[in-house]
Amino acid sequence: MPLSLVIFGASGDLTSRKLIPAMFQLFRKGRLPAGTQIIGSARTPFSDDAWRQALAKTTQEFNGKHFDQAAWDKFAPAIHYHAGDINTASDFEGLHKRLTELEGSAGATRVYYLATAPHTYEEIVEQLGASGLADEVHGPRRIVIEKPFGTDSASARHLNEVVHSVFHEQQVYRIDHYLGKETVQNILVLRFANTIFEPVWNRNYVDHVQITVAEEVAVGRRGSFYDETGILRDMFQNHLLQLLTITAMEAPVRYEAEAVRDEKVKVLSAIRPMAPETVAGATLRGQYLGYRNEPGVKPDSQTATFGAVRLAVDNWRWHGVPFYLRSGKAMSCRTTQIVVQFRQPPHMVFDSQPDHACDADQLVIQIQPAEGIQLHMQTKVPDAGMKLRQTDLEFSYSREFKGVMPEAYERLLLDVFQGDASLFARADEVELAWGIIDPLVSAWQKQAQPPLEIYEPGLWGPTSAAEWMDKQGRQWFDSCPVLS
Ligand code: BG6
């Protein structure tokens, strides 16, 4: 069946930087159904041609030397623009008419993509419902909703209610672009298509897990949004908790949306809720020096740009294994990695080793910038008696598979078109995730605990972060990308 992708927020950054380049790549790879149309909508008036030209320019910037003009010329006629205001019912009726004309009697699978500011989501959903645009008479109707999905449990629940008053849950795709990254999906393959990792993937062998999303960039032009949001809502509720669920979940019975999401929901339900008095000991927060001078940021802002959180997963597999989640802006480098830190060998037989100790094994799953996996393990140094040294086994995507790695949005858009919601958050999943984050946000704001520490840009966050780990007998994996 042909496809219509309707983008609300067509004049925004997400559309030009991510959605259109992803659609163009899918077109070049021949992955879009015949008769695919893209209809952008926003308030600014544009003709179809003017919008196509603007997008040609931004896509060219994005693709750089890989931009293929001839392919673009074939792709561009599928792009249309329809000016409209989300508060005006007649504009939705106009959009309905335009879509019906474009699709003709064949109908189409229609995907509505909300690339607008989050406060507009409810209005758009209600207008889609009222104008009949959500009716599935002439083909399936789906809706894609960008993060943030609410700002706490209550608002997420309310938004879910509004969405469900118009769409069934099976029509709803709550996007988290981290799930579109190849290595994140590869964690599922690593764990559930190999037998050798499962026996050690538990409390008997794993000491702890570290999940780090470090960004070198500061908040830049997003100061006013960020100052209201902060690191917990911007990164932890979604990306970091998603990475945790994929790392900690049980094997689903099959790779299918409900089965995968049922397992992720079980992990979120097993995370020990944090009582207000425990937040100070189990979290750290920081703000980079200079943040308060960023445009749009309050001069006395208490917003955290760095956070570290220790979570306990209370189930048979993970009881007693801390999960350390950490993220920050203006850090040493851009790296996203999951480190599974194994236990020390129970007894060291090599006397040559000082203190009879050695670094325990680590599995480093690097999600970006380069993607791949490294297993750090002990080896014998040649010609030096029984001296040991840590070395590694490595799998790198770019070395193993030639070609440009696909952007997360390519994979995710294709899944929406094919009706596969495995990599999208379900209603209960987002609500549970907010339930984990809400008490932290509240303790940080209301009790000002733990204290907000100012850190120098270009480091691994506040200096106390290392002491905090040290007291727990552990160390942060403060390494810039191990794979390049
Ligand atoms: C977004 C956050 O969801 O993810 C940004 O709002 C952050 O603050 C971005 O910079 C990071 O995404 P990526 O894919 O660049 O790691």
Domain containing residue 31: CATH number: 3.40.50.720
Kindly state whether residues 109 and 210 are assigned to the same domain.
Answer: no
Closest CA to 416 of 112, 50, 108, 160: 112
Q: Is 204 within a domain?
A: yes
Looking up tokens 């106009």 gives 94
Q: What is the dihedral of CA 419, 425, 427, 432, to 10 degrees?
A: 160
- Give the domain-ending residue among 101, 127, 146: 146
Q: Above pLDDT 70, what percent of the chain?
A: 99
Residue 309 within a domain: yes
**Do residues 482 and 374 make contact, with C-beta atoms less than 8 angstroms apart?**
yes
Active site residues: 239
CA of 307 to the centre of ligand 1 (A): 15
pLDDT digits (tens, 9 = 90+) for 50-94: 999 999 999 999 888 789 999 999 999 999 999 999 999 999 999
Ligand 1 pocket mutation pick from 145, 225, 229, 239 by most atoms within 8 angstroms of CB: 239
Q: Tokens 């999943």, residue?
A: 429
Check whether residue 79 and residue 210 sit in a common domain. no
**Domain match, 208 and 346 both:** yes
- The whole-number pLDDT of residue 357 equals 65
* The pLDDT of residue 66: 80
Ligand 1 mutation target, pool 235, 236, 294, 411, most atoms within 8 A of CB = 235
Q: Which domain holds residue 84?
A: 3-146
Q: Which residues of the chain have pLDDT under 70?
A: 352-357
pLDDT of residue 22: 96
Q: What is the CATH number of the domain that holds 349?
A: 3.30.360.10
Provide the pLDDT for residue 430. 98
Indicate whether 129 and 21 sit together in one domain.
yes
* Domains contained in the chain, number: 2
Residues 6 or more apart from 338 whose CB is under 8 A from it? 187, 209, 210, 211, 212, 243, 247, 364, 365, 367
pLDDT at position 358, please?
73
Q: How far is the CA of 28 from the centre of ligand 1 (A)?
A: 26
Q: What is the CA angle 191-196-199, rounded to 5?
A: 85
Residue type at 98? R
Question: Does 165 fall in a domain?
Answer: no
- Crossing angle of helices 182-192 and 241-248, rounded to 10°: 20
Domain co-membership, 124 together with 194: no
Distance CA 160, CA 175 (A): 14
Q: Are residues 127 and 238 in the same domain?
A: no
Statement to judge: residues 137 and 204 lie in one domain: no
How many angstroms separate the CA atoms of 331 and 302, rounded? 18
Contacts of 249 (CB under 8 A, 6+ apart): 260, 263, 264, 266, 267
Residue having the nearest C-alpha atom to atom 10 of ligand 1: 215
Residue 368 alpha carbon, nearest atom of ligand 1: 16
Nearest CA to ligand 1 atom 13: 178
116 and 189 assigned to the same domain: no
Residue 90's alpha-carbon distances to 87, 104, 111, 145, in angstroms, are 9, 21, 20, 23
Residues with CB under 6 A from ligand 1: 147, 177, 215, 234
Phi, psi of 336 (to 5 degrees): -120, 120
Q: So what's the pLDDT on residue 124?
A: 98
- What number does the ligand 1 atom closest to the CA of 408 have? 14
Centre of ligand 1 from the C-alpha of residue 24, in Å:
22
